[in-house]
Structure formats: structure tokens, C-alpha cells
Structure 1
Amino acid sequence: MGPITSAELSLVIKSLQGILAGSRVEKIVEPSHESILLVTRGENLHICLSPQFCHLGSMGRISRGESTAFTMLLRKHIGNAIIMRIDLLREGDRIFFIEFSTGHRLLGELSGRHGNIFLLDDRGIILGLHHTSHSTTRLCRSGAEYTAPPPTPGTHDQVPRFVDSHGASSFFAPHMEALEKSLLFSVASEAIARDQKKVTRALLALEKDGARCEDLMKNQRLGELLLIVQYQWPRGETALFLDPAPDGGDPLTVTLPVGISSPVAASQHFFQRAKKGKRGMVHIANRKIELLKKQAELQIAMEDLKTLSLTELKQLVTAQSQKRTYQVPTVKNSAAPQKKANYYRQFSSEDNTPILVGRGAKENHLLTFRTARGNDHWFHARDLPGAHVIIPGVKQLTEALLLDGATLAFHFSDGRTQDRGDVIYTLRKYLRPVKGAPGKVTVSQSKTICINIEPDRLRRLLDSKIL
């Protein structure tokens, strides 16, 4: 499969010469953005510039309902003109011309991906061309004198695939239809494919969340062991190696959380984390069912799309272009309340105090000036772009809370790769937003703390993120 050959073009031109001579151009339309159709009483002349199927043929009155500037130019100069002559520019090449009673010439170069159509005046000056030419061997633009490209080797030794204009159109039509259908399918399925990728990414994220929840559920054993050994726990110790383990499991070291000195209190801490993991697993299971159902619906939608005809695909693509997006059925619970836009992350300190971290510049602004109150504590990495961190509802910061807030502020900043850094902190009421710069603030009074990033503290905080 390839464009028309010079031998085939010669046969097509000969079949048209007796039919088109003396015919009037009644209409000029665009069957596609790569072709022009001259509607005459004698024959409808179709000039196709598709790189794979470049040819000259005959076809019915088909219009895509749009007109480019070149088509409008043709209508201006050769509309209602009489065709005086159609012929090859030179033998053995794929260039033809049509002479009109107005003195204009329409010249077609059917050379595959370099094909083009030129409108010339009676002096051979280019009035316009179908699309911009990037030729480096000749000047092809409006106002320049037309120069034919160098001759190309002939293909007369090949057996012609057709002998007239109708044969050319009949030969190329099914291939062009298949190509057009493929292109339309790509456009129509773009939104579905995009949603399929989103679902796949969401399923992968659920697997990671599930692994984190399983780790949290392991805290159940730690809590139970602490209750068993609470009376044997050495006074003042923060860790105890259990070998053999009282529950018959593998030996392990049980470490009390930072800031907790009582085995009973520590067991409750571990039980809370285990409950959080269980809640997370329930949420993950429900969410996975929703995503798998949506994945199946998207697959069905994609399969249904493959069965559409060319006309149906055109109608669908037109409707999509009007709507801008392709709506795919999604799983929604109509009874569920609308969730508020979540513009911050939420973590928990050792004593379950919430710590809020902004997600971006605009989100930082919303967190600080819409969610936070005047006496809430605010943190930010000093002299570095980063997230706003808010600790709400606490009158006096403990040392643990101060370090937790500063650690998160430094971690969610451009200094996260460093082991040490400065963090400023103050009350929300001492901040003012900078106009036109979301996330930027002016601080009237603040304090600075220099922190060394503690991996255990950071890991604990990140693990406490609410799913």
C-alpha cells in the first residue's frame, strides 16, 4: 500500500480529460483536512494529500462542514469557473494541473508526505497553497513564482492497481476509511484510556496503603505483650528484650514510645495504632471493590467503542469536542455527603494531637488563613520553600509537640534531604498574607528552633498519617 504512482496518475488523467473539459466548478468542499473536492457537472474531482494514500480520483459530494483559508481562496478565484484542461505537468512524474477559464491554474503534487496543492495566477505566481511547505530546495510560499520539484524516477514498470478515477477512489476508499476510523477511535478512547490509567494507579496505591495498614496491625501483639509483662517491666527502662516471648511467638524487643513511661499506657497506644490499621484495611477493601467495578465498566466502554461504525465514531467525537470531556459512568453513593476538598495532610503526635500540613502554595494559604485560628501554632522551614504546618487547639507547646511540628515543617520543605535545619514558629495571629502570592506570609514576631532530624520521630509521624 502506498500513494498513487506516476503510471496510475497518467491513466487517471487520461480518463478525466474528456469528461472534465468544459465543466463548470459548482462547488468546492473539504471531505477531510487532507483533501479537496471540486464538484462539477462532469465529474467530482477528489484530490487527496494523505501521506499514505495520496491520489487523484472521483467521489460523491461529501463535506466535513468546515473550510480552511485555502478552500475559501479557491472559491474566490475558481468558483463557477470552467475547466479548460487537465493534464500532467510532465510525463513520468506525479504532478498534474487544471487550467480554468479565469486564467488560474490548480496544480497538485501527489508525492506522498511531501504532497501539496497550489493555486497559481496566469503568470505562474503562487496565490496560495494547501499547507505550509518546508522544502529547502525551492521557495514555496504565496507571492513566489512556482518552481516544479526535480523529476523523480518513474514507476511505469509496476502493474497499475486501477485505470481510471473511479477505480482510484474505489481502491483507496476502504484503506482511508480504516485509517480515519483508527484515528477517530484514538480520539474517542483517549478519555477512557486516561481513566483506566487513573484506576490502575489507584489500585497500586491501595496495595501500598494495605502494606502500611498491615504494619500498623502488628502493634496489636506489642500491646498484648506489654499487658502480659507490665509487672515484670524494669523501672526506668524504655525497652525490654523478650526471649522467649510470653505469647509463644518469635523473640523480640519491645520499646516504649517516646514520651510514654508506663507499659499500660504504651499498650493503649499500640492498640490504637492497630485499630487504625484495621479501619484502614476495611476502607481499602471497600475502595478496591469500587475501583475494580469501575475498571470493569471502563473495559466494557472500551470494547463497545471498538464496535462503533465510522459514522457513529464521528458523531461521538463531535459530541466530545462540544462537551470537552467524555463522561464515563462512575461508582457513586448518592446518599453519601459531599466531602470537603482536602487541602492538607493530617498527622498525629504521640498524644494524638492533630498536626496539619499544607499540600501546596494555594493549599498553604487556605490552611493558614481559613482553617487555622488565631492562637493555633504555625511552623515553616526558615528561608526555604515548603509547607505550612499548623498545630491547632493547643495553648502551650510541649517539647514533644514543638519537635514534631518542626520535624514535619522541615521534612515537607526543600531542605528535606538535610539532617539539620532551622524552623520558625509562631502563633497564627502574627501572620499576614502577601497579596497576589498565595502561600507567602509576613511574620510580625516569631521564634526559631534548630533541629536535628530524628529518623525514628520522622518515621513515627509519617506512619501516623490518616488514610
Structure 2
Amino acid sequence: MAFDGLFTHAIVHELQTTLATGRISRVSQPYPNELLMVIRAHRHNYTLLMSANPSYPRVQLTTIPYSNPQVPTNFTMTMRKYLEGAILEEVKQVGNDRIVEFYFSSRDEIGDNQQLVIVVEIMARHSNVTLVNRKTGKIIDAIKHVSSDQNRVRTLLPGAKFIMPPKQDKVNPYLPNQLYSDFATQLADNPSELANQLQKHYEGFGRSSAVDLAERLHASSHLPTTYHQFLAGFETPQPVLIRQSNNKQSFAAFPPLKLPAGASTSSFATLSELLDAYYVRKAELDRTKELAGQVLQVVNNELKKDRRKVKKLHRELDDAARADYYRIRGEILTTYLGRLKAGMEKIDLPNFYDNNKQLTIKLQPDLTPSRNAQRYFTRYDKLKKSVAYVNEQLAKTQDEIHYLQNIKDQLDFAAPADVKDMKLELQQEGYLKKQHKGRRKQKVSKPAQFHTSDGTLVMVGKNNLQNDRLSFKIANKNDTWLHVKDLPGSHVVIRDAHPSEETITEAAQLAAYFSKARDSANVPVDYLKVKQLHKPNGAKPGFVTFRNQKTISVMPKLLNE
């Protein structure tokens, strides 16, 4: 079941029951398209998530931890101004659509009562969270601004009149009707077409909901009872997470009549707990991509420049390889200097490096004979001297490419906090502008923690700043350090001076998992004592040298945190 109108009906019922009469104590916006409110209701603090994320839009209560940006957005400041201290009066669904209204009452600056409503539209890329003044009907602010150039039907900008999305010509299934009976009678032997008709004529039916109801009507001998029991199930949900044999997951407000072959289910106490379980990894990956946009753009631009530079440097080396071309001509001209005359554009002379075969040498007619010979020697000397410099620049550029590519690879398994560390690192290395003075100094996030089968703690740095902190600040000198061999990857530390062979193997599997070799079958991993590590002066974050390491080959695997 998707987050369709029926599931929206169920979550609205849960939110109304849990949050009504609660007071907003805190408002934050940890991610660009997501708003969080802490609401104190029935002697308990609840965190309400309103998400206009184009991939995972939803409303729910959440217990997933988050961190706020150091500087709140303008939208956040507006929401705090109008909503902190406000009372949530009611949560309502518009028809059976994916639109939820949160009604609030609060006091303005002079103490007058003001009525507000937040409209959450759960509609893929058109999703939005809009704060509206109920008295005037005007928009105070929206999490996504939509101008008339983007949408001719409705404008979502501060000060504009709020207009609901165009209503579909469909029937609200919760209102009295007999359509289901007509469809089920006509399509008694065709559940798939019955599902199509339910979707076509009823409001808020996703495909999975329509198929489930069609199967129930198809198997029923009393259509009205089956239909009303199906709808009532969304007001008394039994949330389930469905895992299919191919590891794909879906969720439902209650168990469907038929499960896919090989599928299993997990039950949850509330719809919000179900959504947390379903979205925890998906949402984190999406949030990481959202936050990583600037990092990825900077890294890609620098990589593009460096790769162009490498091509240019190789061309210069190719030119330098032809240095003897100029030396030979200079020496021949010097030997036969008497044959040269002013104003000559070329001359044929015997090449004593090639059995005295005639060699045509170009000349500058405005130069003297000796100056023409010197011109070739000057070009030869310049090319020979450039080789050392070009090789030095080539090595530096290739090191930088390796460093930047490593950051790009780290984004594959980064969490939102890791992306913030990467931004800080790029600022420290001069790729991004540093924060303005006066802002709170950003702390590096903690390395990830895992436990092996015997309970030993293993720590993993998921970005370069974490790697440095883990290897040279957190780890003890007798702890065991691991890293995938000759490839970009995380620093991994076993917090034990004498780990078992099994622990070393499991930690090596982690090191392989958090590396560029994640998808390989047999990955070599180096391991040694932390005290054998060395960080050269001036080395970039995450770079270390070591020796006397041992190597083990393992299959990449993620352990339990």
C-alpha cells in the first residue's frame, strides 16, 4: 500500500487522536523539504514530521533523531514566529485526498487571537507545506515557493490567496454510494479490471489499495459488509511492514488479503512507527543526496579541472620527450655554422647522428647564424628543465584526484551528519568558502559503532575528518586498525588490544563494506596496531602511512550497530 488517500485517512485519525489540544514547544527544519514540530500533548512530547520531499512526502510522528542546521532558514523563522506556543485544535483530511490540514490557534504580538492552518499536500514533486491565515485566506509562507510561471492554476507565495489543488471528479468512498456494488457485479470474474474501476471512480485509491479491495469484493458473498469493513480498517489499523523475497518492502495499514509469494510481515503498534521503520534508510539516503548537492558539485568541478590539467601535463611531457629534436639541430647548426648566411629560411645539412643523411633545418631569417643555433639550444634546455616540474605537478594533481574521488566515494555510504563533516573538510582545504566569523564552531560527528559476535566494539570513520579523529584521537595505540588494501575506504578500529581471529575477520568485513570494494566478492584488507600508523606533515585529511601490516581477504558485510 502506498501513501494514498486511504492511508492518509488512517494517519490523520492517528494524529488527531494523539495530538489534538497539544501545544507546540519547538519548530525546526533539519532538511530543506521537511518541517519538524515538537508538540506537548497528554503529558508527552511528540515530534511531528511534515515532509514535502518529492520522493518520500508524508506526515507522521517520528522518533528518528535529527540535528538542526546552525543557521535556521527564513521559513523556519516564520514558522517559529507564528506557531511556537500555538495550540493544535484539529487534524483533518480534505475529502479522501492526500491533503491534510492542521488547525492552530495562537496569539499575535499584541495578544489578539489568530487562527492558522497548515496545509500539507502529499503529492510527489508537487508536495508542499503551506501556512495560511484562516481569517484572510492568505499564505503566510510555504516550504516551496511556486510562482505563476511554474503553475498557472495556483501561486504559492507569501501574501497570495491560498487555493486548493484542482479537485478530481471522483467519489469520496466514505460517503454513501453503491458504485462498488455495480462494479463488483459487472466484473465478478475480473478482479484486475475491478481494481481499475475502483481507482477510476473513487478518490484516494492507490493501486495496492484498489487491488486489495477488489480481491475482497471478488471473494465476498455480501458486498456492502466487505466494502464497509475495508474502509473501517483504516480507522482501526493493524500496521504491517511487508518484506518480499527480493528484499523489496512495502507497508499497509492492515494485512492485505493476499501477500506476494514468499513475503513476510512485521507488525507495529502505530502507523508512525511503521513509517519510521520503512523510511529510516530510504529517507536518510535521500536527505544525504539533498545535503550532498553542494559537496558533489564542488568535487565534480574540481575533478573536471584536475583531469583537464592531467591531459595538459601529459602533452607537455610528450613535448619534453622531443627535446633531443632541438638539441640535435642546435649541434648540427653549430658544427656547420660557416655555411649559414643571414636571411636564410632553411638549410640542408648532413646529420652526423644518422649516417650523414641530409637534414632540413628551419631558420629564422631575421636572426644571425649563431642566434639561430642558440634558439634550438634554448628550446632544448627549457624542455629538459620542464620535465621535473611537470612530473611534480602531475603527481600533485593525481594525488588530488585520488583525494577528491575518495570524498565522492564516501557519499555512497554517508549519513546527513557525514555530509556536514565533508563540507567542513572542503572549507578547511580551501575548496569551499569558510563560514562567517561569529558562527558556532562545527564539531566533527562521531564515528559509527558496531559490535562483533563476541561483543567487541568496532568503530568506523565514514569521512576523512572522522577517520583522522578515530585513528589519532580516539583509538589507543594498542588497538587494531584496518583498511581495505590499495583502495579508498574507511578507517576501522577494533577497541581491543588482543582481538580474536573472528573479531578481526568481522572488522575486516566492515572495512571492505565501507570502501570502494563494497560490491566485490573477495577483498584484501590490511590490519596492524594503531601505533604503527603515521600521518606525514601537511598530508590531507584521512591520509596515513604504515608498514609491517598483515592482510586478510574477506567478503564485505555490514555488522549490527
**TM-score after normalising by structure 2:** 0.50
Q: What are the superposed Cα offsets for residues 128-166 of structure 1, whole Å, 9 maximum, x if unpaired?
A: 132322331135444554332212453244248242233
User: 2:88 and 2:16 mapped to 1: Cα distance?
Assistant: 10
What residue in structure 1 maps to residue 100 of structure 2?
96
User: 2:419 and 2:377 mapped to 1: Cα distance?
Assistant: 57
Q: 1:98 to 1:191 in 2, by over 3 A?
A: closer
What residue in structure 1 maps to residue 383 of structure 2?
277
User: 2:389 and 2:38 mapped to 1: Cα distance?
Assistant: 64
Contact preservation (8 Å) 2:57, 2:124: yes
Structure 1 residue aligned with 2:127, among 115, 123, 146? 115
Deviation at 1:16, TM superposition (A): 2.0
Structure 2 counterpart of 1:217, one-letter code: D
User: 1:295 and 1:251 mapped to 2: Cα distance?
Assistant: 47
| Alignment gaps of 5+ in structure 2 | 107-114, 169-202, 210-249, 254-270, 434-561
Q: What are the superposed Cα offsets for residues 207-226 of structure 1, whole Å, 9 maximum, x if unpaired?
A: 33234444553122223333
What residue in structure 2 maps to residue 330 of structure 1?
none
User: 1:137 and 1:105 mapped to 2: Cα distance?
Assistant: 21
Deviation at 1:73, TM superposition (A): 3.8
Indicate the larger mover: 107-116 or 151-160. Answer: 151-160
Q: What are the superposed Cα offsets for residues 361-416 of structure 1, whole Å, 9 maximum, x if unpaired?
A: xxxxxxxxxxxxxxxxxxxxxxxxxxxxxxxxxxxxxxxxxxxxxxxxxxxxxxxx
Structure 2 counterpart of 1:281, one-letter code: V
Query: Is the aligned partner of 1:81 residue 2:86?
Result: yes
Deviation at 1:7, TM superposition (A): 2.0
Structure 2 counterpart of 1:287, one-letter code: Q
Structure 1 counterpart of 2:12, one-letter code: I
Structure 2 residue aligned with 1:146, among 147, 155, 162? 162
Query: Is the aligned partner of 1:171 residue 2:278?
Result: yes
Structure 1 residue aligned with 2:138, among 123, 126, 145? 126
What residue in structure 1 maps to residue 218 of structure 2?
none
Deviation at 1:285, TM superposition (A): 3.4
User: 1:245 and 1:301 mapped to 2: Cα distance?
Assistant: 55
User: 1:248 and 1:106 mapped to 2: Cα distance?
Assistant: 92
Query: Superposed, which structure 2 residues align to 1:297-446 within 5 Å?
Result: 297-303=403-409, 308-317=414-423, 320=426, 325=431
User: 1:57 and 1:45 mapped to 2: Cα distance?
Assistant: 6
Deviation at 1:64, TM superposition (A): 1.4
Deviation at 1:95, TM superposition (A): 0.9
User: 2:313 and 2:428 mapped to 1: Cα distance?
Assistant: 35
Q: 1:260 to 1:147 in 2, by over 3 A?
A: closer
Deviation at 1:50, TM superposition (A): 0.8
Q: 1:53 to 1:124 in 2, by over 3 A?
A: farther
Q: What are the superposed Cα offsets for residues 293-320 of structure 1, whole Å, 9 maximum, x if unpaired?
A: 4444444455456555432322343565
Structure 2 counterpart of 1:123, one-letter code: K
What residue in structure 2 maps to residue 41 of structure 1?
40
Contact preservation (8 Å) 2:27, 2:76: yes
Q: 1:293 to 1:54 in 2, by over 3 A?
A: closer
Deviation at 1:20, TM superposition (A): 1.8
Q: 1:33 to 1:302 in 2, by over 3 A?
A: closer
Structure 1 counterpart of 2:417, one-letter code: T
Contact preservation (8 Å) 1:125, 1:143: no
Alignment size in residue pairs: 323
What residue in structure 1 maps to residue 215 of structure 2?
none
Deviation at 1:94, TM superposition (A): 0.9
Contact preservation (8 Å) 2:78, 2:141: no
Identity, in percent, stands at: 19
Query: Is the aligned partner of 1:292 residue 2:292?
Result: no
User: 2:300 and 2:157 mapped to 1: Cα distance?
Assistant: 40
Q: What's the Cα RMSD here?
A: 3.6
Q: 1:226 to 1:304 in 2, by over 3 A?
A: same
User: 1:269 and 1:319 mapped to 2: Cα distance?
Assistant: 48
Q: What are the superposed Cα offsets for residues 78-125 of structure 1, whole Å, 9 maximum, x if unpaired?
A: 43333222121112x111112234543222222222222233334361
Structure 2 counterpart of 1:278, one-letter code: K
Structure 1 residue aligned with 2:308, among 183, 186, 201? 201
What residue in structure 1 maps to residue 15 of structure 2?
16
Q: 1:321 to 1:49 in 2, by over 3 A?
A: farther
SS at match of 2:25: strand
Deviation at 1:168, TM superposition (A): 2.6
Contact preservation (8 Å) 2:342, 2:365: no
Q: What are the superposed Cα offsets for residues 161-196 of structure 1, whole Å, 9 maximum, x if unpaired?
A: 242233233322321100122344443354444443
User: 1:284 and 1:227 mapped to 2: Cα distance?
Assistant: 29
Structure 1 counterpart of 2:52, one-letter code: L
Query: Is the aligned partner of 1:220 residue 2:270?
Result: no
User: 1:276 and 1:322 mapped to 2: Cα distance?
Assistant: 36
SS at match of 2:53: coil
User: 1:294 and 1:98 mapped to 2: Cα distance?
Assistant: 51
User: 2:431 and 2:351 mapped to 1: Cα distance?
Assistant: 62
Structure 2 residue aligned with 1:188, among 285, 289, 295? 295
User: 1:101 and 1:319 mapped to 2: Cα distance?
Assistant: 44
Query: Is the aligned partner of 1:161 residue 2:251?
Result: yes
Q: 1:22 to 1:321 in 2, by over 3 A?
A: farther
SS at match of 1:128: strand
Indicate the larger mover: 235-244 or 25-34. Answer: 235-244
User: 2:322 and 2:76 mapped to 1: Cα distance?
Assistant: 67
Contact preservation (8 Å) 2:47, 2:61: yes
SS at match of 1:158: helix
User: 1:68 and 1:35 mapped to 2: Cα distance?
Assistant: 12
Structure 2 counterpart of 1:136, one-letter code: R
